[in-house]
Amino acid sequence: MLENRPDNQFVRISRSPEETRTLASRLATLLTPGDLLCLYGELGAGKTTFIQGLASGLGVSDPVTSPSFTLIHEHKGDVPLYHLDLYRLEPDDLAEAGIEAALRSDAVVAVEWAERLPRALRSGALGIEIAFADEAVDARLLSFRSSGGRSDTILRGLAEELGAGSRA
């Protein structure tokens, strides 16, 4: 598991899909080519919705869509974005799926179902866990966690951008 020190985690509530997209587009302004975002959360939690906001913040104009049998979607933008959805990944597919090439590329890489990526490939990634929150149907708890390297810098920037400690 990722470490859970108070200084490596930042938590926010989102109360609508639009709020999740806005949050993600603000995160996008802090990213540079090569950054890796690992998204976790149940079916329908909002991982694709988050990546839609990320894409708009990166200047991607083509749509970010969800269910498909394609593991990797490449989007051109001011900064290119690889959107990986590993829900259907079989362990044997990893090598041929082009995932490692995506991770070595000069793109921002956002991965849904990132728990299916071998741990070694997730080092230095920013983890984003999206959970259903009890208070309303559209409420989600977003937890951002850093794991060293670039992710520490991104998390610090995010806390500054959104206001450290603020949950609203």
Contact footprint for ligand ATP (CB under 6 A): 14-17, 19-20, 41, 43-49, 66, 112, 138, 140
Is residue 73 within a helix (H) or strand (E), and if so which, with residue range? Answer: strand 72-75
Closest CA to 127 of 22, 37, 26: 37
Long-range contacts of 91-98 (CB under 8 A, 24+ apart): 94/118, 97/71, 97/72, 98/71, 98/72
Rounded alpha-carbon distances, angstroms, from residue 146 to 43, 52, 63: 23, 21, 28
Nearer to ligand ATP, 36 or 128 (CB): 128
Q: What is the contact mask toward Mg ion in residues 126 to 165, using x (rule: CB under 5 A)?
A: ----------------------------------------
Which C-beta is closer to ligand ATP: that of 53 or that of 150? 53
What does the block give as tokens for 34? 């090569």
Q: With CA atoms as reference, report the closest residue to 147 among 66, 64, 35.
A: 35
Tell me if residue 69 falls in helix, strand or coil. Answer: coil
By C-beta, is 112 or 129 nearer to Mg ion?
112
Q: Which of residues 45-64 bind Mg ion (CB under 5 A)?
A: 47-48
- Residue least distant from Mg ion (Cβ): 48
Shortest Å, Cβ 72 to ligand ATP: 14
- For residue 148, the minimal CB distance to ligand ATP (Å) is 26
Least distance between Mg ion and beta carbon 66 (Å)? 4
Three-state SS for 53?
Answer: helix
> Binding of Mg ion at residue 89 (CB under 5 A)?
no
CB of 22 or CB of 48, closer to Mg ion = 48
Contacts with Mg ion by CB under 5 A lie at: 47-48, 66, 112
